[in-house]
Chain A
Amino acid sequence: MLTIKNLHVGVSGKDILKGLDLNIGPGEVHVIMGPNGAGKSTLAYALAGREGYDVTQGDVLLDGQSLVGMEPEARAAAGLFLAFQYPVEIPGVLWSTFLKTAVNALRKARGQTEIDALGFLKMMKARAEALGISDDMLKRAVNVGFSGGEKKRCEALQLSILEPRLAVLDETDSGLDIDAMKIVAGAVNALRGPQRSFLMITHYQKLLDLIAPDRVHILSGGKIIRSGGPELAQHLEEKGFAGVVA
C-alpha cells in the first residue's frame, strides 16, 4: 500500500532522511522506533506534506500514486492521515465544525456527496463515546485548553472519523496514561482491517503490547538500519538503542 523508495528529506537545507526504504502492505501495522533526532517526526511530516520538509530524492507511493509534490489536503484525499505528536490548538473553531468540514472536504475530493448534519453528529458522538470523549469536550474549540492525553484521544477520534487508507501515528502514545493508552489502542485495533495500514512511530514497547505490529523498523541517522518482527522491539526494550544501533 505504501512504498517509500530511497527517500531523502531536507529541513532548512540540512539532510535529515538519507535514503529511507519502506514497504507497508495492505492491512499491515509497521512500527518505527529510533533514538531522538533519528528523523522519525521528519518522516511523518514529509509524508503529510508539511511545508519546509523538502523531498530532495526518492519517492513515496500510496496505492501506486506518488505523494511527492502534492498539497497536504490532496494527500489526505488520497487516504493519508497523520496523528500529530503535538496536536495544534485552534481557537474559535469548534470540534463539530472542524470535523464536519474535514469529512465533507474529503468526500467532495473523492466525488462523494456531503454528509447531512444530523447523520454526522450521530456518528461523531458515537465514535467520541467509544474513546471516552465527552459531549462537553466536543462543544469546545479544537484542542484549546486540552491536556496532552485529551489531545491524543482527539487525534484518535479524527482517525476513526476520517477512516484513512494509511494512518501515520506520530508518538500517539506519549502523554497518555495506561488507561487512555488502552482506549486509544482499542480504537486503532477496531480500525484494523485488510484495507487499512498503519505506520506507528513510538519510543515505547508498551504500545506494542496493545497493538501487535507486523513489522518493526529501527530508524537511525536518517535510514532504516534494521527491520524485523515484534521480537525486535522486545530486543530493543532489553538492550536499548545503543545496543542495537552499535
Chain B
Amino acid sequence: MKGAGAESWKYTNLAPAHSVAWAVPDRGAPAIPPAPHPVCGRIVFHNGFFVENASFLPKGMRFTQDIHRSMPAGKDEPDSFIADMNAAHRQDSLTLTVSAGVGARDPLEIVFLAQGETPLRLAPRLSIVCETGASLRFIERHEGAGTTLSAICVFLDLRAGSCVDHVRIQGAANAAYLLETTHIHIDSGASYTGFYYTDGARLSRHQVCATLDGPRAQAQIGAVALLRATQTGDLTTTIRHAGPGARSSQSVRTVLGGRARGIYQGRIEVAPGADGTDARQQSRALLLSEGAEMDTKPELNILADDVKCTHGAATGSLDAGALFYLRSRGIPEIQARGLLVEGFVSALLDESPEQAAHAEIRARIERWLGAEREIGS
C-alpha cells in the first residue's frame, strides 16, 4: 500500500490497514435488502461486484458494463492513491447514462454493500453521464458488515445545462476502511448539489474533485460527519474553477466525540481566465470530548482576476451558555447536549434540496446521539 505517504495523507493514517491480509472476494449470490425509500431505480454493488438482478432503471436511464471513459486520475486530484488502488484491483465497472427529459418522482439509489466475513479488498467503479439538459437525483449509500477495504471511484459527467442532486450516506461497518473518489466534471450552465453524511467506517476518506468548466456552472457541497471512538473521517476536496463565471460553495460540519479524528482539506483552484469566479468554503467542527481532534487545511490557488473567494474554519466545544440556558428550562444535560449537536448540523441538512433522505439522515443523527449518550461522552 504505497503512495499514501503523500502530503495530502498527512492526517489520515492508513497504516493499520497494512497489517491486514486482504483477500479478493468471490462473486456470490448475495441477498440484497430492499431500498428504505421509494426509488425510481437502483444500482447495487455487492463486495465490488455489480448485482444485476437487484438493479433496475427507469425509462431514460441505461447502463453499460465495462465501458469506462478514461479519465486521467492524478492530473487534477490531490493525489491518485485511491484511483491507483482501484485500477490495480478493479472489479466491476459500470457506466450509467441519463438522457434529457427524465424527471422521475423518486430518486435513484446507488448502493455499495460491503460484507467481509474475512477481510476483503473491494474496487468497484461507476461512471454517470448526465446528457445535455438532463437531471438526476440520486442517493449513494455505503453500508455492510465485517472488515473491508474499499477503493471506489465514481465519475460524474454533467453535460451543459444538466443538473445533479447527490446525497451520500456513508454508514459503513465499524471495521471498514472506505476510500472513495468522486470525480465531477460540470459543464457550462450545469449544476451539482452534493450532501454528504458520514457516521460509518473505522477510517474513511472521501476525495471530491470537481471541475467547473464553463459559465454559470455551479457546485454546492454540504457535508456533515458525526464520528466517535477512534473513527477517522477525512473529506478532501479540490474545486477547480476552469472557466469564467462559475460558482461553488462548500459547507462542512464535523462533530467529534471520543478520540475521533476529523479531517477537512479543501482546495480551491481558480485557473487563469476564470474571471467572475465566486467560491466559498466554510468548515466548522464541534469537539465533544478532550480526546477528539479536527484538522482543517484550506488551500486557495487563485490565478485569475475579479475573483470572489472566501474561506473560514472554526473548531470549538459546546457553548456553555447555551447548555445552561437549555438546562435552566428543565432539559436534562444529556438531552440538552443532543439538541445543541442536532442544531449544529441541521442547518446544513435543511439546505440540501433532496428531501427523500432527510428523515433517514435525521434518524441516523438521533441514533448517533443516543449511542453517544450511552457511552456518556
Contact = CB atoms under 8 A, between A and B. Distances in A.
Interface string A84-109: 10011111110001100110011001
21 contacts: A48-B328, A49-B328, A51-B320, A71-B332, A73-B329, A73-B330, A75-B328, A81-B329, A88-B319, A88-B325, A89-B322, A90-B340, A90-B343, A91-B344, A92-B345, A92-B347, A93-B339, A93-B342, A101-B331, A162-B329, A162-B330
Given A97-B339, A101-B339, A90 B322 contact: yes
Contacts of B346: 92
Nearest to A91: B343
Given A73-B332, A92-B342, A105-B335, 14 more contacts: A50-B324, A71-B332, A72-B324, A72-B327, A73-B329, A76-B330, A82-B328, A90-B326, A92-B346, A93-B342, A98-B339, A106-B330, A141-B343, A141-B347
B318 to A, nearest CB: 11
B4 to A, nearest CB: 36
Contacts of A84: 325
Contacts of A16: none
A102 B330 contact: yes
Contacts of B324: 48, 50-51, 72, 88
Contacts of A90: 322, 325-326, 339-340, 343
Given A72-B327, A88-B322, A90-B325, A105 B344 contact: no
Contacts of A106: 329-330
**Which are the 10 A-B pairs with shortest beta-carbon distances?**
A92-B343, A76-B330, A93-B343, A102-B329, A72-B327, A106-B330, A88-B325, A105-B330, A73-B327, A92-B347
Interface residues of B, number: 24
Given A50-B324, A84-B325, A88-B321, A101 B342 contact: no
A197 interface: no
Contacts of A102: 326, 329-331
Contacts of A97: 339
Given A48-B328, A90-B326, A73 B333 contact: yes
Contact of A87 (B325, B330, B343, B344): B325
A50 B327 CA distance: 9
Contacts of A55: none
A82 B320 CA distance: 16
A176 B169 CA distance: 47
A158 B325 contact: no
B335 A101 contact: yes
Contacts of A91: 343-344, 347
A161 to B, nearest CB: 10
B361 to A, nearest CB: 14
**Most chain A CB within a 10 A radius of its CB, from B319, B322, B331:** B331
A72 B343 contact: no
Contacts of A87: 325
Interface in B313-364: 319-322, 324-333, 335-336, 339-340, 342-347
Nearest to B341: A92
Given A91-B344, A92-B347, A71 B330 contact: no
Contacts of A224: none
Contacts of A72: 324, 327-328
Interface string A46-59: 00111100000000
Contacts of B326: 90, 98, 102
A74 B335 CA distance: 14
A97 B326 CA distance: 12
Contacts of B325: 84, 87-88, 90
Contacts of B333: 71, 73
A77 B345 CA distance: 29
Nearest to B320: A51
Interface string A174-203: 000000000000000000000000000000
